Amino acid sequence: MLALIIGQLTAIADEARVSVPTVNRAVQKLKKRNLIIRYCNCNWVINPLMVANGNRQKQKVLERRYTGVQAEIEARGNATG
């Protein structure tokens, strides 16, 4: 399963004990580096290359799923754009 971060920025900020602008800046930096992508409203998917350890086969499976999520997001964007 892909790693998801679920929650509004305010909830994440409260949990991390930082301000909402701090969380927003962090999210923007992670997006820019392709370390996370927004899957839907409050769901963020973490790039498996950032967290995968050990078995190379498992890492490949996670990479394929992540790429599939990216393609799904792009397809939704093209359909609405």
For 32-57, the pLDDT digits (tens) are: 888 788 777 767 777 766 666 666 77
Q: What is the pLDDT of residue 21?
A: 92
* pTM (global) more than 0.75: no
Backbone angles phi, psi at 17, to 5 degrees: 60, 45
What's residue 1's pLDDT? 47
The rounded distance, in Å, linking the Cα atoms of 55 and 19 is 37
* Percent of the chain at pLDDT exceeding 90: 1
